[in-house]
Amino acid sequence: MAALSQVAYGASLLAVLWVGICSAVCVEVPSETEAVQGSRMKLLCISCMKREEVSANTVVKWYYKAEGGKDVPIYEYNNEKRELESHFRGRLRWNGSADMQDVSISVLNITLNDSGIYTCNVTREFNFEAHRPVFTSSTLIHLTVVAEAREDLTSVVSEVMMYILLVFLTLWLLVEMVYCYRKVVKAEEAAQENATDYLAIPSENKENCAVPVEE
């Protein structure tokens, strides 16, 4: 009987390891750390966990801590979504996925007072026949709320390069126009000089200039 229990326990451990290997397809993406006042901010919390056929009980708890303050529970998911009593009351929305790998929440109409540290705690109890391992994970999000959106460095560089290119093309067009204008003027001057030289030739010389016709 003891040997059977050891075999069952070993099989459970192998199953847990297999869960960890298969969860590699889930990518844990870090949350954004800056929000604009008055916007909707998604606090991203990805907790890669399991294969579809392995069931687990998942409990998610979100906490908020202001600068110099302490952690205050603001949201909880335990088979149902529950917004807790805090200054976020009425402004939190569940953004998690059906497979409970994405356990994110969103803050509506975010304010400057919402800057601080957000903690996402995830507890999972896997349901195996002989063993129920429990795993916990925690994600910290240091969020800063600003009054206005800051310009991204990439967009600034792109804008500067666009203006430089525009100035270069304008100068190149001006140079081409001046070059073509001078070319046309020189052609006209050469034509006028030829016409003047021709008019300056006496009329008898003009007749001698004619090509004799052979009989």
Q: Is 0.85 surpassed by the pTM of this model?
A: no
Helix, strand, or coil (residue 100) = coil
Say which DSSP state 37 is in.
T
Whether the pLDDT of residue 185 is over 70: the answer is yes
Provide the pLDDT for residue 76. 96
Q: pLDDT tens digit string along 21-33?
A: 343 457 777 888 8
Site of tokens 């795993």: 135
Q: Average the pLDDT over each of 2-6, 43-47, 203-207 and give the range with the smallest value.
A: 2-6
Burial class (CB within 10 angstroms; exposed 0-12, middle 13-18, buried 19+) of 50? buried
**Mean pLDDT, residues 158-173 taken together:** 87
Report the alpha-carbon angle 72-138-93, nearest 5.
55
Pick the CATH number of 28-146 from 2.60.40.10, 3.40.50.2300, 3.40.50.300, 3.20.20.140: 2.60.40.10
Domains of the chain, residue spans = 28-146, 153-200
**Residue 75, both tokens:** 């949201």
Q: What is the DSSP string of 168-210?
A: HHHHHHHHHHHHHHHHHHHHHHHHHHHHHHHHHS-HHHHHHTS
Q: Average the pLDDT over each of 94-103, 169-178, 184-193 and give the range with the smallest value.
A: 184-193
- Please tell me the distance from the alpha carbon of residue 21 to that of residue 184, in angstroms, as a whole number: 76
- Please tell me the distance from the alpha carbon of residue 125 to that of residue 121, in angstroms, as a whole number: 14
- Please tell me the distance from the alpha carbon of residue 172 to that of residue 74, in angstroms, as a whole number: 61
Q: What is the DSSP string of 20-33?
A: HHHGGGS--PPPP-
Outline where DSSP puts E strands in 16-115. 34-36, 41-43, 56-65, 72-78, 81-83, 92-94, 105-107
